[in-house]
Amino acid sequence: MKSTGKSYIIRIILCLEIVIYIVFNYLDVNYWGRNNCPNIIKYIGVLLCLLLAFLIGEDGYSREDTYLLQLALTLTAAADLCLLILNKFILGVFIFCIVQIIYIIRHSGGKIKKKDIYNLIIFILITIFVTTMFIRFIDYKLLLIGSIYAILLLYSVYTAWKTFSRNVYPITNCYLVSMAMTLFLLCDINVGASNIIRQLGISHDNIGMISNFLVWIFYLPSQVLLAISGYKKIKIFNI
């Protein structure tokens, strides 16, 4: 595909993402919980991010980097299908665990240390032990997979910010990756808060609505930034 044609398609996709972002936020504010339409619109936004990644072609940094990004966003689409449409929460979080592992590999630029891997494994094992032995007041399966995901996410955010010192990408793309993963973290903080409140049986109508609203305020921009971060030359967007 010629650069000008690709640039035109990318601009259309980005404009659609903006429209989708405005529409589902409007629906969330004014028609909260009344129908499933906002979730479908949100999922379309996720699929458009995946399309952005598959348009990279020869404009990526390397085949490996492009492949990892495309794989991560494909699994992200699968995870969001579970969470948004199928209501398979534990399966969705499990898939997101794999997504974060892929991003850790991608953003480490092949420079991840064995010490970091060992520490990550130790933290996960400790989490499994504490969850299964001491915590009984909420669904331990959900807490277990959620805790493992939280550890992976935090390390993934750390790895994203380390792209600056590791010179994994040009400075602009380092900012894209770091901002994307930080937004990802802010999104999942709200996901976690909402689910903990629900599991504890606390009255959470207003809190739950605010938390769920903030989830997608942060989430869709994070996915757009991640998709864009795969392009070697930002000027291809011509915006």
Average pLDDT for the chain: 85
Q: Is the pLDDT of residue 170 over 50?
A: yes
Pick the more confident residue, 208 or 5.
5
Q: Can you give the three-state secondary structure of 161-174, one letter per residue?
A: HCHHHHCCCCHHHH
Q: Helices (H), strands (E): how many in the chain?
A: 9, 0
The position carrying tokens 């850790």 is 104
Cα–Cα distance, 78 to 57 (Å, whole number): 22
pLDDT tens per residue across span 69-112: 999 999 999 999 999 999 898 999 999 999 999 999 999 986 66
- Report if pTM > 0.85: yes
To 10 degrees, the CA torsion angle through 159, 177, 59, 18?
A: 150
Displacement of CA 138 from its chain's centroid (Å): 25
Tokens, residue 82 = 């579970």
Judge whether residue 3 has pLDDT over 80. no
Residues 6+ apart with CB under 8 A from 132: 140, 144
In the chain, domain spans: 3-109+153-237
Torsion of Cα atoms, 102 then 107 then 112 then 115, to 10°:
-80
